[in-house]
Amino acid sequence: MTTAGAPLRVCFVCTGNICRSPMAEQVFRARLAEAGLAGLVETDSAGTGGWHEGDGADERTVSVLESAGYPATHTARQFRPAWFASPDLVIALDAGHLRALRRLAPGAEDAAKVRLLRSFDPALPAGADLDVPDPYYGGTEGFEECLAMCEAACDGLLDAVRRQLSARR
């Protein structure tokens, strides 16, 4: 857990760290910058698998991000159990990632750090599907849908992070 004065850390996690998690990370970074919180919160992203380690983001992710005005620089990495010592929040992009990350967690406190991104979307009705669908095997429309879901959820995540920062003061 981050101590007072240290930045709050948020890590976004999807399958291969080339589509959803880098997209969510870039959207959230932009929200933090707009809110003047960039210096207080560090972001990162990773995948549950290592198939794409060292690769850039999927070209469709890059295209959709850049079209929406977000930066798209990224290098894929795999989430490791030892990383639980660093982030305050580990944001899973779907229920499969949530389960995988909670299984990797060294203890209950680490497992409690893992949350689904869309659980932060204030506009979702109770009982709504909280998965951000994997756009990898589809066309651009799936990446655009993913971006829209990330944008909606990152607004709520920003509010949650503001509350965490306030509680630390």
Model-level pTM?
A: 0.96
Q: Residue 4 has what pLDDT?
A: 59
Catalytic residue of the set 14, 19, 150, 154:
14
Active site residue 14: yes
Q: Pseudo-torsion of CA 13, 19, 20, 24, nearest 10°?
A: 90
Separation CA 32–CA 156 (nearest Å)? 12
Residue-range domain boundaries for the chain: 12-168
pLDDT in tens, 125-159: 999 999 999 999 999 999 999 999 999 999 999 99
Active site residue 11: no
Q: Residue 23 has what pLDDT?
A: 98
CATH superfamily, region 12-168:
Response regulator (3.40.50.2300)
- DSSP 8-state assignment for residue 6: S
Q: Residue 6 has what pLDDT?
A: 87
Active site residue 20: yes
Contacts 24+ apart (CB under 8 A), 162-168: 162/35, 162/37, 164/8, 164/88, 165/8, 165/37, 165/40, 165/41, 168/2, 168/4, 168/8
* Residue pLDDT tens, the chain, 169 long: 445 578 999 999 999 999 999 999 999 999 999 999 999 999 999 999 999 999 999 999 999 999 999 999 999 999 999 999 999 999 999 999 999 999 999 999 999 999 999 999 999 999 999 999 999 999 999 999 999 999 999 999 999 999 999 998 7
Separation CA 165–CA 27 (nearest Å)? 19
Catalytic residue of the set 9, 11, 19, 20:
20
- DSSP 8-state assignment for residue 119: G
